[in-house]
Amino acid sequence: MTEASTQDAGAQAPASSISFADALRFWLKLGFISFGGPAGQIAIMHQELVERRRWISERRFLHALNYCMLLPGPEAQQLATYIGWLMHRTAGGIAAGVLFVLPSLFILIGLSWIYLAFGEQPLVAGLFLGIKPAVAAIVVHAAWRIGSRALKNGALWGIAAAAFVAIFALNVPFPAIVAAAALTGYIGGRVAPERFRTGGAHASATTSFGPAQIDDDTPTPEHARFHPAHLARIVLVGAVLWLAPIGLLCGLFGWHGTLTQMGWFFTKAALLTFGGAYAVLPYVYQGAVGHYGWLTPVQMIDGLALGETTPGPLIMVVAFVGFVGGYLSAELRALFGPDMLFIAGAVAAVLVTWFTFLPSFLFILAGGPLVESTHGSLGFTAPLTAITAAVVGVILNLALFFGYHVLWPQGFDGGFAPVSALIAVIAALALFRFRRGVIEVIALCALLGLAARFAGVAT
């Protein structure tokens, strides 16, 4: 038998077992290579778990993905948690979800410290001179990408336009926009269901990659069957895991303390991330920049740039927000001391990551057995369709916000920044015309910014 035929034969046989150690090694590897946003991360998992390793069948994989897409929170991280839970019970789900996030948390803590401690150095300043316009172009591209999929008719276009006006002109809070869109979708789904029907991009599996360890006809394991007592335990444990730290923070710093408010704010953010990380960014901006003042608008742009260049879910930008807020907080400076600012920032980053991702684990561990009880289509998508349409308008507002601060960094009275505008145009061409990846665009623009900085070109 030739080497090629041996490989082909091996490709048709599923792994004889999935050890917990093998799974741990894969989830850790995934945490370091999961670039490309949720689409890229899901593609990596599909290639590795469905096509190459055959740990789970195509149909079971997509069934889990359909559920994760209906939840608030990062769908790729939740999908990893779901598959880890299905294979190795609660411990497997927690391990998969944590390892998906942990590398990016450590990387972002390090990058955030470098940014704050050395951001005024010519090298770092030059890099961010090019990265900021790239981020503005990336957000515009995200609005276009989501809108091209979501806005399929006039009703959805109307929802997007109303959301844009609400947040841009009326400064309506993001949660209110989400609630109004969900209500509109619920009513619209009953009155005109054809206008609120999703495209079903993940509705069915049409390709077979051979037998899998968890195959289409594999019986649901006992731990994945629904039991009311199990659901009650998950809810109780989740309540304790949220109440204990928030109660401790409230006791130590009071309800209005910086860390307490971070915990409360990012809990709310975790429940509002329908439509992906770009959807929640306006809410984070409204709270972290506008209400609490934990960081400036320019720092928010820089944080998104760092989030785009690190592995893991983009919502990990919250770790940057937490680090900057903790590092610059007068309250935490007094608590930790002026020589321990890194510790203050790291504690805040870990804290906001905990409160941001805790609901994601609970949704999977509590809802997974309900999903496994049926492999039919989840049919309550009309509110989500309307929310996604509203998200397009909200993201467009975010793009205008970033564009203003990039092109007029000192305000309209401070003058236009032609170099930033040129870099933004180059980034837009790379994304829209040449379909380059986010990492490539950021790297190119960072080099352009560095060259402009050292050439002494005015921004």
- 8 Å CB contact between 167 and 282: yes
Q: What is the mean pLDDT of residues 322-332?
A: 94
What are the tens digits of pLDDT across the range 147-186?
887 788 999 999 999 999 998 888 887 778 878 988 998 8
Q: What is the pLDDT of residue 276?
A: 62
Angstrom CA distances, 114 to 6, 123, 300, 334, stand at 50, 12, 15, 22
pLDDT above 90 covers a percentage of the chain that reads 39
Query: Which residues does 64 contact at the CB level (< 8 Å), separation at least 6?
Result: 79, 82, 83, 86, 371
Burial 151-190 (b: 16+ CB within 10 A, else e): bbeebbbebbbbbbebbbeeebebeebbebbbebbeebbe
pLDDT above 70 covers a percentage of the chain that reads 88
What is the average pLDDT value for the chain, to the nearest integer? 83
Three state DSSP letters for 236-278:
HHHHHHHHHHHHHHHHHHCCCCHHHHHHHHHHHHHCCCCCCHH
Q: Is pLDDT above 60 for 338?
A: yes
Radius of gyration from C-alpha coordinates of the chain: 23
End-to-end CA distance of the chain: 64
- 8 Å CB contact between 230 and 369: yes
pLDDT tier for residue 458 given thresholds of 50, 70 and 90: low
pLDDT tier for residue 6 given thresholds of 50, 70 and 90: very low
Q: Is 11 helix (H, G, I), strand (E, B) or coil?
A: helix
Q: What is the mean pLDDT of residues 262-276?
A: 84
Q: What is the mean pLDDT of residues 287-293?
A: 92
What are the tens digits of pLDDT across the range 88-137?
999 999 999 999 999 999 999 998 999 998 877 777 778 888 888 887 88
What are the tens digits of pLDDT across the range 34-79?
765 666 677 778 888 988 889 998 878 877 876 787 778 888 899 9
